[in-house]
Amino acid sequence: MRGGATGKSVSKEFANRKSQINYICPVHNFTPMTNSNPDSNSNPLLQEWNTPYELPPFELIRPEHFRPAVEEAIIIARREVDEVISDTAEPGFRNTIEALENAGELLNRITPILFNLNSSDTTPELQEAAREVSPLLTNFANDITLNPELFKKVKSVYDRKESMALDPEQLILLDRRYKGFVRGGAGLSEDDKEKFRAITVELSTLSLKFEENVLAETNDFTLHLASEDELSGLPAGVRESASALAREKGMEGWLFTLHAPSYVPFMQYADRRDLRERMFRAYTRRAFRGNEHDNRELVLRIVELRLEMARLLGYENYASYALEERMASAPEDVSQFLQKLLEASVPAGRRDLKDVEEFARTLGHEGRLERWDWAYYSEKLRMVRFSIDDEALRPYMPLDKVTEAVLGLATRLYRLRFVVNREIPVYNEEVTAYEVHDGSNGIIAILMLDFHPRKGKSGGAWMTGFREQSREQVIGQESLTTEHQGRRIIPVVSLVMNFTRPTTERPSLLSHSEMNTLLHEFGHALHGMLSDCTYESLSGTNVKRDFVELPSQIMENWAWEKEWLDTWAAHYKTGEKIPSEMLHSLRESITYNEGYSCMRQLSFGLLDMAWHMLEEPFRGDIVSFERTAMAPAELLPAAEGACMSVSFAHLFSGGYAAGYYGYKWAEVLDADAFSLFREKGIFDRETAESFRRNILEKGGSREPDELFRAFRGREPSPDALIERSGFRKT
């Protein structure tokens, strides 16, 4: 997810280990047990939810409810796990692997609420609750994977898997469960198990603190402008939003922030170079100012702990540990992949830089381009070359129409229908909830859309879930085939964005790149909503990290297709369609600065791998380390005082450690996959049905390469990406 991370509902480092024991079980089977906690009768998290689709009763839930609820749920979960351990029957798939999959039902309906709210609608009290709960959850996960009796049972089943009549999904579940124990420290000595416990508990706390610091730093800065002259170059819509924000704060003039809807257009359009520099430096110094929110020590400690954990488990570095369960199975594979893309993109990137530099000089720019100049001059050159820029398209992309169009695309491709239901509980009044209907299959999912920035919302955009898809296990069903399992538990998916708010003068108008973001995250949502797996820990986006971006990135392709844009994009005032020449220019601009953009993305992947291929703790200067790591893919001079690592949430508070390369990896897959839509037609139902059946419905119940071959009929080829990126042009 660009700008975010899937599965943001669970506690960061802990989320990477959630396959060891299922942490989001079907709430439909939940029956409140005898209460060991006298306060449970008044705690809504511990009660049956008589709400539409058994969603959380958000209006009743308070931050102080979470710790006692989690403590009670852990007690119940321990009993369920103890039943697996104490079972005197021979360990088998049903009484061991499946029993563990279904354990922790109450705990698994509580934790997504806390961690989703902590990312999308947090308060100091919620942040404190998350800090209190994370070590409890990590300790409980450790108690499962480090239990020798339980591991013995799991290993017994794993060793006999060839003699069992297991179907492919069950084999995947067994493999994940067994590897989860091994990778979770089950084979360590007792002394090393204690070290492992300490490491994972500390990591769970530090990753939360990292995210809190970035949010605090983002909220801390504002640029208050009082003169019209200072607004030179800024489009009317940007000015109106800044004026509305200033009025909201009881101030005159215009107020700009580091949140994307304010920061990005300011850097693209503000003529005042000194103000662009001021905004840029504030953005790149977040969590790097030597105050209580400085993340330097957290970065070094998180990297050190990850390395220590990997070495404890027998790996040379953390990347080797993480990549073992990815499509790219080793650091060398990732390094070769990044290097191959870098070699392909460098000539185009240098050409892009030269073009923008020469253009800037024609406008009177003297000296070298700095990082606060790039967005400004490259956007102006795009306008000259293609007579189009993000602002020119905004009037044709009001948020309500974009939303309707994106949902309508799913209707056209997959026959889904989205119906607003205002009776469904939501966590903030700005959130809209939809029932997702699928013909004769009925309601197959609930979708929540949350579009605008708030003080308590993290930056970026992401898909997450309050409940994941699964199928009820049939009580007493001894057959090992999954085809006779019970009814499908519908997932509850949430998309969280940070789009420009409407003002009194105009509605929320999206740039083309923002519309792209919505398509991207909606692709993740489709992956979650259309999932049709038996086991929750394998459903939806619970796939290998470098495969998870395929369903999201393939959706971005429609953003450039005239055939789709013509069906809905119209000026919010006049109702006129986007002019044909503008759509032609948009299509022509698809490769504009793609070399530079690719190199920039690769630089992030190089930084990620540099941190996680360390084989000794790093004690030096973070900035020097960062610059050295990113240098092969950098085109612009470094900015003094800037540091990316300290606000790189994907790596240090998300799930992308040693995995950021996955965005580019998935681009190879998505370009190749979409080439089949191009061949058959971008709305071709047969192709869409194949993508749904072979990719979206399968989740992690099959290996990714098997799923891709089933859809495409062959192994993925990078040719489509190279062609789409324009790297073959001279």
**Token pair for 649:** 């949430």
What's the pLDDT at 113? 98
Section 579-600 average pLDDT: 94
Which distant-in-sequence residues (6+ apart) come within 8 Å of 631 by Cβ?
none
Report d(CA 222, CA 600) in Å as an integer: 27
* Domain-terminating residue out of 186, 215, 244: 215
What's the pLDDT at 722? 83
How many domains does one find in the chain? Answer: 3
Q: What percent of the chain has pLDDT over 90?
A: 89
**Token pair for 235:** 């489009």
Section 434-448 average pLDDT: 97
How do residues 16-44 score in pLDDT, each as one tens digit? Answer: 333 333 322 223 333 344 444 556 679 99
Catalytic residue IDs = 521
* Domain-terminating residue out of 245, 262, 284: 284
Report d(CA 605, CA 657) in Å as an integer: 10
- pTM > 0.85: yes or no: yes
Q: Verify that 190 and 243 share a domain, yes or no.
A: no
Report d(CA 622, CA 631) in Å as an integer: 14
Residue 379 lies in a domain: no
Report d(CA 512, CA 391) in Å as an integer: 8
Q: Verify that 126 and 209 share a domain, yes or no.
A: yes
Percent helix, percent strand, percent coil in the chain, to nearest 5: 60, 5, 35
What's the pLDDT at 613? 98
> Please, which pLDDT band fits residue 391 given cuts at 50, 70 and 90?
confident
> Please, which pLDDT band fits residue 389 given cuts at 50, 70 and 90?
confident
- HSE of 541, CA atoms in CB hemisphere, 13 A: 35
**Token pair for 145:** 């994977």
Residue 363, number of CB atoms within 10 A of its CB: 10
Residue 167 lies in a domain: yes
Q: Verify that 228 and 176 share a domain, yes or no.
A: no
Whether the predicted pLDDT of 2 surpasses 50: no
**How do strand 432-437 and strand 443-450 relate by DSSP bridges?**
antiparallel
Report d(CA 423, CA 444) in Å as an integer: 17
Contact call for residues 402 and 384 (beta carbons, < 8 A): no
What's the pLDDT at 728? 65
Q: Verify that 476 and 550 share a domain, yes or no.
A: yes
How do residues 288-306 score in pLDDT, each as one tens digit? Answer: 999 999 999 999 999 999 9
Cα dihedral 204, 206, 209, 211, rounded to 10, equals -80
- How far CA 656 is from CA of 432, 442, 515, in Å, comes to 29, 35, 24
**Token pair for 432:** 């809209």
Contact call for residues 716 and 669 (beta carbons, < 8 A): yes
* Domain-terminating residue out of 238, 269, 284: 284
What's the pLDDT at 721? 87
Residue 332 lies in a domain: no
Report the DSSP beta bridge partners of residue 570.
577
Report d(CA 591, CA 568) in Å as an integer: 24
**Secondary structure of residue 420 in the 3-state scheme:** strand
Q: Verify that 199 and 234 share a domain, yes or no.
A: no
DSSP structure string for 518-564: HHHHHHHHHHHHS---SSGGGSTT-S-TTTTTHHHHHHHGGGG-HHH
What's the pLDDT at 676? 96
Whether the predicted pLDDT of 364 surpasses 80: yes
How do residues 336-345 score in pLDDT, each as one tens digit? Answer: 999 999 999 9
Q: Verify that 200 and 255 share a domain, yes or no.
A: no
Q: Verify that 266 and 156 share a domain, yes or no.
A: no
Residue 336 lies in a domain: no
Residue 549 lies in a domain: yes
Report the DSSP beta bridge partners of residue 226.
none
Whether the predicted pLDDT of 61 surpasses 60: yes
- HSE of 22, CA atoms in CB hemisphere, 13 A: 30
Q: How far is CA 411 from the centre of its chain?
A: 24
Which CB contacts under 8 angstroms, 24+ apart, belong to 362-366?
Answer: none
Report d(CA 415, CA 408) in Å as an integer: 9
φ and ψ of 555, to 5 deg: -65, -30
What's the pLDDT at 725? 87
Nearest Cα to Cα of residue 668 among 695, 708, 707: 708
Report d(CA 542, CA 519) in Å as an integer: 20
Residue 701 lies in a domain: yes
Residue 258 lies in a domain: yes
Q: Verify that 238 and 144 share a domain, yes or no.
A: no
Report d(CA 678, CA 131) in Å as an integer: 48
CATH number for the domain including 67?
Answer: 1.10.1370.40
The chain-wide mean pLDDT, for the chain, equals 92
Q: Is 70 exposed, middle or buried (0-12, 13-18, 19+ CB in 10 A)?
A: buried
Report d(CA 602, CA 725) in Å as an integer: 14
What's the pLDDT at 610? 98
Give, rounded to a whole angstrom, the gap between the first and last alpha carbons of the chain: 32
Whether the predicted pLDDT of 634 surpasses 60: yes
Report d(CA 493, CA 109) in Å as an integer: 14
Section 319-329 average pLDDT: 95
> Please, which pLDDT band fits residue 227 given cuts at 50, 70 and 90?
very high
Report d(CA 319, CA 309) in Å as an integer: 11
What's the pLDDT at 723? 84
Amino acid at residue number 337: F
Report d(CA 504, CA 570) in Å as an integer: 20
Report d(CA 263, CA 280) in Å as an integer: 9
Amino acid at residue number 31: T
What's the pLDDT at 7? 34
Angle at 495 between CA 493 and CA 500, to 5 degrees: 160
DSSP structure string for 425-439: --SSTT-EEEEEE-G
Report d(CA 614, CA 609) in Å as an integer: 9
Section 629-642 average pLDDT: 97
Residue 239, number of CB atoms within 10 A of its CB: 17
**Secondary structure of residue 493 in the 3-state scheme:** strand
Report d(CA 359, CA 611) in Å as an integer: 37
How do residues 111-157 score in pLDDT, each as one tens digit? Answer: 999 999 999 999 999 999 999 999 999 999 999 999 999 999 999 99
What's the pLDDT at 8? 34
What's the pLDDT at 15? 33
Q: How far is CA 419 from the centre of its chain?
A: 25
Report d(CA 489, CA 26) in Å as an integer: 7
φ and ψ of 420, to 5 deg: -65, 135
Domain housing 497? 398-568+663-725
Nearest Cα to Cα of residue 142 among 191, 174, 181, 189: 181
Report d(CA 399, CA 412) in Å as an integer: 20
Q: Verify that 195 and 278 share a domain, yes or no.
A: no
What's the pLDDT at 39? 63
Which H/E stretch holds residue 668? helix 662-680
Q: Verify that 59 and 126 share a domain, yes or no.
A: yes
What's the pLDDT at 392? 86
Contact call for residues 95 and 88 (beta carbons, < 8 A): no
Report the DSSP beta bridge partners of residue 443.
437
φ and ψ of 364, to 5 deg: 95, 5
Helices (H) and strands (E) in the chain, counts: 27, 9
Q: Verify that 681 and 547 share a domain, yes or no.
A: yes
**Token pair for 296:** 């330097």
Residue 698 lies in a domain: yes
Contact call for residues 468 and 11 (beta carbons, < 8 A): no
DSSP structure string for 369-411: PPHHHHHHHHHHHHHHHHS--HHHHGGG-BHHHHHHHHHHHHH
Contact call for residues 653 and 16 (beta carbons, < 8 A): no
Q: How far is CA 649 from the centre of its chain?
A: 11
DSSP structure string for 570-618: B-TTT-PBPPHHHHHHHHHGGGTTHHHHHHHHHHHHHHHHHHHT-SS--
Sign of CA dihedral 209, 214, 219, 220: positive
Q: Verify that 133 and 41 share a domain, yes or no.
A: yes
**Secondary structure of residue 76 in the 3-state scheme:** helix
- How far CA 655 is from CA of 1, 428, 652, in Å, comes to 11, 25, 8
